[in-house]
Structure 1
Amino acid sequence: MAVSDPGINLVLGPVILGIIINTFVYGILFMQGITYYTSPRFKQDQPLIKGLVTWSLFLDTFHSCAIIWVIWEYCIEHFGDRAFLETTPWPYPTAPIFTTGASVPIQIYLAWRVKRLSNSWIIFGGITALSVTSGVVAWIASIRAVRLSNTKGFPALIPIVDTWLALGVLCDVSLTILLFIFLRKGRTGFSKTDNIITTIILQSIETAAFSSLTSLLDLITFTVIQKTNFHFIFSLLAGRMYTNTLLATLNSRDKLRADFLVDGVNTLTSPPQSHGVAVHVSVEHREDNGTELENYTKRNPKNGRDLETYYV
């Protein structure tokens, strides 16, 4: 459904609203970043994990500053210039590049979590290929959008933009389903451990739902409500949603570990080694009188891995 002659409220309004919402979400991510960098786990993480966080926050910071500059261009520098509203300042058409710059490495990181749980290189390769393909398509879409330099030509980009967004949603949904399946298979029969697994499952679904819903709404608004900028609201948020997924996952580890220390009944053996972002759990069961009965260490009969190793 194309709007024949959209008013300024349908062109500039969504841009301003999208930038305001994006700035608010960026503030939340900034605080999450501070939480990560000041946590004890930060020093234990591998350089790749630290680099991924830094890279994602850098992209979010740079893009957020760039789109704030767009407000200056629209509302100050070219105030009252209706023709300028049909142009595309560079932060606008390059949004897919910034989005996939964060989403692709984060999706590959999540695919690695699935690989560690499933021990399947095929699954890892498939998800990685899907993610990289979406990134390539996003770059092509951005390059074509930059060359257009005018929003009137955007309807011609609908097929390639829809392909990019659909691939991203498919990748997110696949990761969520796979994490759900393999985490459930890791249930041990111990209520404390199983509760932690349930928490991880719910967290994975919740974080993936935000990024998937954002991409889906971006796809719908870009395709259906043409000649307006409603899709701008969601295209700006997409990259922030992936960074939120990453930081929420990493910052939740200390809380999940602390859940095993409640009442002194369950203890953790040895500090976790920095192999990815793993939580190594050994459950120690005691009688009410404090007598230690046994130390349970469940192992996978197929590959000898601890079944109580969950990547969160």
Structure 2
Amino acid sequence: MTVSDPGINLVLGPVILGIIVNTFVYGILFMQGVTYYTSSRFKQDRPLIKGLVTWSLSLDTFHSCAVILVVWEYCIEHFGDQAFLETTPWPYPTSPIFTTSTSVPIQVYLAYRVKRLSKSWAIFGGITALSVTSGIIAWISSIRAVRLSDTKEFPALIPIVDTWLALSALCDVSLTILLFIFLRRGRTGFSKTDNIITTLILQSIETAAFSSLTALMNLITFTVIQKTNFHFIFSLLAGRMYTNTLLATLNSRDKLRADILVDGANTLTSPPSHGVAVHVSVEHREDDGTEMEDYTKRNPQKARGLDTYYV
């Protein structure tokens, strides 16, 4: 095999492209981290939220630096070494460990947000179990991959890796759909309040959809084009996307809270769009890094109880 061999292009090309894209996304992520740590909300958040952000950013930083070693090994240290192309530097097979060490805590956090909306511990437990199971399988596949000395043996890992990716994708898609469903159910009939709910829906979908799409593309490329490294692009991005989802959610709270305060106050004096009298009470909670807005519908025939919205 020569350096100009198309096979090498399919092996090294996606790896280099993936690392370049990953480095770019990490730069954006780093700036989001700076925004969070310098915001007034950082001091108000619970230690658990602060710890989750620090944990995720630390893993992303270490992993982003580690994968650069892959380029160094392939393109500098062992340039033109055909035999080395059949080996894998340690950052490559350990990527699932780094990814799930980030994704599982964030998926559990998002599942808790769904629980706050749905009031259902069953949904929270189901999503959490799905996430933890995918994480365990990812660790098993990664440990087995590290023990393999030749990339020719990797096809034996395809079933277990596919299982991990499928469960992870299912978890992400489920979270996106559930957030959409329960946020949409929270519409009150007040035009300004519903605009806030629409903003919450769009934000939730935009942030969660990126991680869902990345997980799906990782599964598709790994399964369909197994003889290339195109899946490596999405495998690297997965961890960054989860942290991006977390930080985008946390950093948007001040703006949404201001909108809730302004529109919530206006709504008290505005007639409802459906002609039914509604009492609106706003409650802000900062004990877990979220805010809730409770709208109680007092029409006996249309009341659905207490609806909770949070960021």
Mark yes or no: TM-score above 0.5: yes
Deviates more, 1:78-87 or 1:23-32: 78-87
Other-structure match for 1:183: 183
TM-score (norm 2): 0.87
For the structure 1 residues 145 and 111, does the alpha-carbon distance in structure 2 shift closer, same or farther, using more than 3 Å as the test?
Answer: same
Other-structure match for 2:271: none
**Quick one: distance in 2 between partners of 1:207 and 1:156?**
34
Matched position secondary structure for 1:93:
coil
> Which of 289, 293, 306 in structure 2 is aligned with 1:277?
289
Q: Is it true that 1:242 corresponds to 2:254 in the alignment?
A: no
Other-structure match for 1:65: 65
Q: How does 1:138-287 map to 2 (within 5 A)?
A: 138-260=138-260, 266=266, 272-281=284-293
Q: Is the 8 A contact 2:211 2:238 kept in 1?
A: yes
Other-structure match for 2:278: none
TM-score (norm 1): 0.86
Matched position secondary structure for 1:310:
strand
1:204-263 CA distances to partner (integer Å, 9 max, x unpaired)?
Answer: 112222111111111121122122211111110011111111111111111112224559
Q: Is the 8 A contact 1:114 1:178 kept in 2?
A: yes
Gaps spanning 5+ residues in structure 2: where? Answer: 269-280
Aligned length in residues? 291
Q: Is it true that 1:12 corresponds to 2:12 in the alignment?
A: yes
Other-structure match for 2:112: 112
1:247-285 CA distances to partner (integer Å, 9 max, x unpaired)?
Answer: 111111111122245599649999944222322447xxx
Matched position secondary structure for 2:309:
strand
Counterpart of 2:79, as a letter, is: F
Other-structure match for 1:34: 34
1:126-180 CA distances to partner (integer Å, 9 max, x unpaired)?
Answer: 1100000000010011011111132211211111111101101111111111111
Other-structure match for 2:275: none
Deviates more, 1:26-35 or 1:215-224: 215-224
1:101-150 CA distances to partner (integer Å, 9 max, x unpaired)?
Answer: 01100000011011111111111111100000000010011011111132
Counterpart of 1:275, as a letter, is: D
Among all aligned residue pairs of Structure 1 and Structure 2, give the percentage whose two residues are the same amino acid: 82
**Quick one: distance in 2 between partners of 1:116 and 1:239?**
25
Gaps spanning 5+ residues in structure 1: where? Answer: 283-296
For the structure 1 residues 271 and 65, does the alpha-carbon distance in structure 2 shift closer, same or farther, using more than 3 Å as the test?
Answer: farther
Matched position secondary structure for 1:22:
helix
For the structure 1 residues 253 and 18, does the alpha-carbon distance in structure 2 shift closer, same or farther, using more than 3 Å as the test?
Answer: same
Other-structure match for 1:298: 296
For the structure 1 residues 267 and 102, does the alpha-carbon distance in structure 2 shift closer, same or farther, using more than 3 Å as the test?
Answer: farther
Counterpart of 1:183, as a letter, is: L
1:177-215 CA distances to partner (integer Å, 9 max, x unpaired)?
Answer: 111121122222222221111111112112222111111
Counterpart of 1:310, as a letter, is: Y
Q: How does 1:52-131 map to 2 (within 5 A)?
A: 52-131=52-131
Q: Is the 8 A contact 1:260 1:266 kept in 2?
A: no
Matched position secondary structure for 1:228:
coil
**Quick one: distance in 2 between partners of 1:265 and 1:86?**
65
